[in-house]
Amino acid sequence: MEPPNHQGAAADATTTKRPKPPPLPLATRLQLAGLSVAIDAVERPDGTVNRCLYSVIDRVLSARASPCPDASGVRSFDVTMDASRGIWARVFAPSASAAPDGRPLPVIVYYHGGGFVLFSPAVGPFNGVCRRLCAAVGAVVVSVNYRLAPEHRCPAAYDDGVDALRFLDAHGGVPGLDAASGVAVDLANCFLAGESTGGNIVHHVANRWAAEWQASAAHLRVAGIFPVQPYFGGEERTASELRLEGLAPVVNLKRSDFSWKAFLPAGADRDHPAAHVTDENAGIAEAFPPAMVVIGGFDPLIDWQRRYVDVLRRKGKEVEVAEFPDAFHGFYGFPELADAAKVLQDMKAFVDSHRAPTF
């Protein structure tokens, strides 16, 4: 196969009219600006993270678990999965009245974004997304805290993601939820979701689970996945990356390159299979689950995401696409945006259509 034509992509991008950024509420623009400043402040040029400064930002942005139901009837609590590795999860559970038909609730295991190097399930935007996901879908959401790079490089995040599923399978449910709590879960209807780098983790965890663990699992079945604006890449600079450079919020080439350098094994380039899963190096397991891939038209990574959809289809896998033409990278973390509510409706429809019958 011929190497990518980098100059050709650059030429195409320079001859394509630069899009006009979609209008955003002032509050959203301010939050995005603050997020960009925080990211650039903690990511050092040498590929490391200023953890001292990051810990301060993390404390400011983080929310505590809340065992009391909020206005939508969702409560949250934390569960330790592996204290030796710092793996824990924040569980978001609806009230018992969320399942009036008496059926056990599906489980959504969630992996947060942050370029593989930042954040946790407690950080405000991810805490909020999982609350809204729980309420909108009518599912128990288990948001996993995995180890961060560059201190823990690839495949640490994938190992932790798989081990979270093994933990749930070994327990036969979600610790803290049982008959006494009024919320029963159905691990045979487990879905994986995550945005950005979390979407990348969703793909790799689902693939490894399908290839290595699904056949022997006692309780947990991955019924479907939601890679939301998944973070893929390669040495090539795609037309969308070049066209939206400097226009789209949060994601740019500098930050993307930092994340891959911090996460990938030392000496690996961006064509490593962890990043570049959009070609024949994407070894897709036979039992890979159905997918709903969410993409945004104002996301610099859209070309990589469309290639990912294409490779899944070429491999004969079931895949749906939910595309939002004006959406920037991370849009569904902002509840004031109409698309942030619409994508949750699409996710609920996908869960409803892919749930196995409960007997």
Active site residues: 196, 299, 329
Question: Which residues are 324's β-sheet partners?
Answer: 296
* CA distance between the termini of the chain: 50
* Amino acid at site 108: I
**In angstroms, what CA-CA distances link 281 with 70, 231, 271, 278?**
45, 16, 9, 7
Residues 6+ apart with CB under 8 A from 26: none
Helix, strand, coil tally for the chain in percent (to 5): 40, 20, 40
- Output the CA angle 74-223-146, nearest 5 degrees: 60
Q: Give the Cα separation of 351 and 359 in Å (integer).
A: 17
DSSP letter assigned to residue 216: G
Q: Give the Cα separation of 304 and 295 in Å (integer).
A: 10
